[in-house]
Amino acid sequence: MSDSSSDIRIDDLSAPVLSDTQKLAVDYMEGQSVLLEESAVLDAACEATGLTDYGSDDFRPRLTAWLEAVREDSGLNGFGRRVVFGNAVRYLSNRLLFEDLLKRNPEIADIEIRRPIIVIGLPRSGTTHLVNLIAADRRLRSLPYWESCEPIPRRGEGPGADGLDPRYLRCRKSSQQSDQVMPLLRAMHHMTPEHVHEEIELQDLDFGSYGLEWNARVPSWRDYYYSQDQTSTYAYMKNVLKALQWLRGPERWILKSPQHLEQIGPLMQAFPDATIAITHRDPVSVIQSAITMLAYGDRCRRYAIDAPALAEYWIDRVEHLLRACVRDRELIPRHQSIDVAFHEFMADDIAMVERIYGLAELEMSDDARAQLAAYMQANRRGKHGRIVYDLEGDFGVSPGEVRERFQFYFDRFPVRKEGDA
């Protein structure tokens, strides 16, 4: 890897040279036994929480398909299998804690989620920056990373003498360990505990998201997920948001998830009064950024990296997301939605937020403007370095040919082509 000034070029994506820290982590995990079976993850979650009631059992077929798809991924090493196993146990533990909280506090069901602002768009298209920028406005309720990992506190567990939530402390420790093993992720998608995350983590309590595709090669899960009506999973996610709102305010949410692009129908059924901001960016830029990040993570998760196959999978996946968006865009009422062109957003971040606020009938107060400006000052672009991407050199894919495949998207939305190809 080379690092000249703030530019970072990862030149070993296909044949990674692991650092000593990465070697230690991979070797240690390879020696750990992981049983990717339904009984194993269910029992582990029960043991972790001391609870046994998962609520409705309708998630079980999805859990079965989820685990079966992972077992089919022969390229996933011990480190990768441990990550997936840990995620499954965490999702199930969170579900147990949520169902227990709801049982003890049935009034949560009566909480209303009113007029949320929801950002949807491709991964790497500005959604993260937009949601974190808006979340700097303290009038809005957001989902920080630490809370998305453990949305419901364990019984009897509250802030310590230092005033910090134990869930936050656990997330901070995990994030520090991740930074040590995968330091360049900070330049791609820096996930501090305070960073605003996606409600996809809440959908995973119901095993109804595309998130598994980011950790393993699971085409059978993708196809199973495609076949599912997501209405009930979106309703379940909304109920978890009610619990979070009941636990602490404010009461108006700022949310975001790329998955919503292909689930606009279920999204609008769950949040019919939402203001929707849809980010749009050149798919070539999105794809090269996403698969570079995935390939970098794969150096620890997989025995070997097939860069062209990774590119092929995600080009197809991004096409599915965008075709669904083109198909379903009109399901969102025009007076509740705005298309956010990436180049316009990058040119004037605050002005774009003001446009979104106007649509959402939320005043851009002096306090809000100051809070947004403070966030921008503290989170300047590229502060951890800038990754240099090479779609053709690293993945054997011509940017021009990829862009031709997405002409339908350029025809529908005001997307500016980036780069020379």
Per-residue pLDDT, averaged over 90-108, amounts to 98
Largest CA distance in the chain: 59
Cα distance between residue 97 and residue 120, in whole Å: 28
Q: Is residue 183 domain-resident? A: yes
Tell me which residue of 37, 103, 31, 24 sits closest to 66, measured CA to CA: 37
pLDDT of residue 125: 86
> Tokens 């804690």 identify what position?
97
Residue-wise pLDDT tens digits, 326-335:
999 999 999 9
Burial of 109 from C-beta contacts in 10 A (0-12 / 13-18 / 19+) = exposed
Q: Assign 24 to helix, strand or coil.
A: helix
Question: Residue 166: inside a domain, yes or no?
Answer: yes
Given a cut of 90, whether residue 281 has pLDDT beyond it is yes
Q: Is residue 420 part of a domain?
A: no
Mean pLDDT value of segment 42-65: 97
Can you give the pLDDT at residue 159? 75
The answer to whether residue 332 sits within a structural domain is yes
Domain that holds residue 119: 2-412
Residue 401 token pair? 């040919």
List, for residues 160-193, the tens digit of each pLDDT value: 777 789 999 999 999 999 999 999 988 887 788 9
Tens-place pLDDT, residues 306-320: 999 999 999 999 999
Residue 362, pLDDT score: 97
pTM for the predicted model, two decimal places: 0.95
Query: How far lies 167's CA from each of 51, 102, 230, 384, 413, in Å?
Result: 18, 19, 29, 26, 41
101-157 confidence digits (pLDDT tens): 999 999 999 999 999 999 999 988 889 999 999 999 999 999 999 999 999 999 888
Cα within 13 Å of Cα(421), Cβ side: 16
Residue 214 lies inside a defined structural domain of this protein? yes
Domain count for the chain? 1
Q: Concatenated DSSP letters for 35-84?
A: --SHHHHHHHHHHHHT----S-GGGHHHHHHHHHHHHT-TTB-HHHHHHH
What pLDDT score does 324 carry? 98
- Give burial (CB, 10 Å; 0-12/13-18/19+) of 55: middle
| Residue 361 scores a pLDDT above 60 | yes
Encoded amino acid at 75, one letter: G
Through-space distance between the first and last CA atoms of the chain, rounded to whole angstroms: 25
What is the pLDDT, as a whole number, of residue 4?
A: 44
Confidence class for position 417, pLDDT limits 50, 70, 90: very high
Q: Are 116 and 253 in contact (CB under 8 A)?
A: yes
Q: Could you tell me if residue 388 is inside a domain?
A: yes
Supply the DSSP string of 266-323, one letter for each residue: HHHHH-TT-EEEEEE--HHHHHHHHHHHHHHHHHHHBSS--HHHHHHHHHHHHHHHHH
pLDDT at residue 383 in the model: 66
**Averaged pLDDT of the chain:** 94
**What angle in degrees, to the nearest 10, is found between the helix axes of 231-247 and 78-104?**
70
Residue 43: inside a domain: yes
CA dihedral 320, 280, 187, 353 (to 10 degrees): -140
Cis peptide before 183 (omega within 30 of 0): no
Q: CA distances (Å), 374 to each of 60, 129, 169, 370, in order?
A: 45, 14, 25, 6
The CATH number given to whatever domain includes residue 72 is: 3.40.50.300
Residue 47 lies in a domain: yes
pLDDT of residue 186: 86
Residue 220: enclosing H or E segment and its boundaries? Answer: helix 219-227
pLDDT band, residue 80 (cuts 50/70/90): very high
Residue 23 neighbours by CB under 8 Å, 6+ apart = none
Span 242-265, mean pLDDT? 96
